[in-house]
Structure 1
């Protein structure tokens, strides 16, 4: 394999993955957001529109960044990366506010504990995403680490849009209130195929599993599983309510 071929493969792989992420983010919300917007039946708070806008902006931004790398426009990639920090910060804030809104709505409708329990999915997800992105920034000069950490950060993020079609198909007629956390496992398994793709890519191109991909995958799967038992614990429910209480 020539040096150029070795150099090009990672660029094209992560570029392809980025556009897969765009497709998941957009298509996942079709049944619960886009279609409801079109027929006027979406009844969510304004923060949900802001959160949706920030989510799509972040995914598209990442696709743009991978395109810069794939086309060897590294100066543009680094310059826009600075703006990316601000964009992700805004996204993280919107995620937290959306989660707090859900807890508050649960309190108003008699599902306070269920809403607090389910919020562990959001809070653990944003913690994972932030950790991966901070590590990616710290390793910006190690391209193999940086690209993998940034890609891993999208697995918890994309679990939400992946869960929407499952919710439409699996929610019983007349069901009210937030669902139990274990219903997040089927869409999590599907979105974890991103991890499988990354591991296969590592094995094929480098002959081994890259430590970032391997340990990052273990961390993501561990959090997905542990969220189920922890979500119903009195300690977590109290913590979630306390976080929501900070908003007044």
Structure 2
């Protein structure tokens, strides 16, 4: 199949997306290296089988996003659209597995006597899954408007990077590290500990927004509206975990059966 010709401006934008996608892959795999990828061959990883599926799916998404940006940047739009169908299936699996993993982790911590803390922290993975689902669904709905679609996919991918970025904080200021060490292996941390990673997520969104601003003379509304929503949710939810309303929601979610 012959690649579609692209004008220089669109090619430059496409190259930016490829470089950003490459950065996301680097963040995802390096962030989980010491707490997951290097522990697998060493036989030191401890955790439910569901965690393996979670890690594989979410890591695969960053590779998928890199592949899709590369196909779009090189004008291979027919392949890009064909693989997009597989991307919808992957994203759907990620949402359900992400929710199940968050609930299973909460259930484990509740059973170990950390009910209040576990339910408070559960707001982080559970809202992350919902946020990702909304952004990807919005991107699918706007697939025929590429300028909106690609920015929403960028935001969706950035939103899930809070987890691997959080591992860097866990391994440095959090005192983690060593064989078998990973977030979740001890008592649940306060949700406020995720703010540092949330700030880095905000910086990545800002980079995309500024690039748009410089190339087009103004920031795209998707980055203004969607980006603000991502930042507000990822930082603002830390204050909601201990509220009676969220505790009640988490208590209800904890009644669901998860397969670990």
Calculate the TM-score normalised by the size of structure 1: 0.94
The residue matched to 1:86 in structure 2 has which SS? helix
Q: Distance in 1 between matches of 2:145 and 2:137?
A: 14
1:73 equivalenced with 2:83 (yes/no)? no
- Listed as ranges, the matches of 1:21-170 within 5 Å are 21-170=24-173
CA contact (8 A) 1:135 1:149 kept: yes
Q: Which runs of 5+ in 2 are unaligned?
A: 1-5, 177-184
CA contact (8 A) 1:31 1:165 kept: no
Instruction: Specify the alignment match of 1:11 in structure 2.
Output: 14
Instruction: Specify the alignment match of 1:206 in structure 2.
Output: 216
- CA deviation profile, 1:45-85 (whole Å, cap 9, x unmatched): 00000100111111111111111101111000111111111
Shift of 1:29: 0.4
Structure in which a larger fraction of residues adopt helix: 1
- CA deviation profile, 1:194-230 (whole Å, cap 9, x unmatched): 1111111111100001100111111111112321211
Q: Distance in 2 between matches of 1:86 and 1:19?
A: 22
Which deviates further from its counterpart, 164-173 or 228-237? 164-173
Shift of 1:176: 3.9
Q: Which runs of 5+ in 1 are unaligned?
A: none
Instruction: Specify the alignment match of 1:224 in structure 2.
Output: 234
CA contact (8 A) 1:103 1:241 kept: no
Say how many residue pairs are matched. 245
Calculate the TM-score normalised by the size of structure 2: 0.90
Instruction: Specify the alignment match of 2:182 in structure 1.
Output: none
Q: Which residue of 189, 193, 204 maps to 1:194?
A: 204
Q: Distance in 1 between matches of 2:136 and 2:113?
A: 36
The residue matched to 1:153 in structure 2 has which SS? helix
Instruction: Specify the alignment match of 2:179 in structure 1.
Output: none
Shift of 1:107: 1.6
- Listed as ranges, the matches of 1:233-248 within 5 Å are 233-247=243-257
The residue matched to 1:179 in structure 2 has which SS? coil
Runs of 4+ aligned residues of structure 1 deviating over 6 Å after TM superposition are none
- CA deviation profile, 1:23-60 (whole Å, cap 9, x unmatched): 11100001211232232221110000010011111111
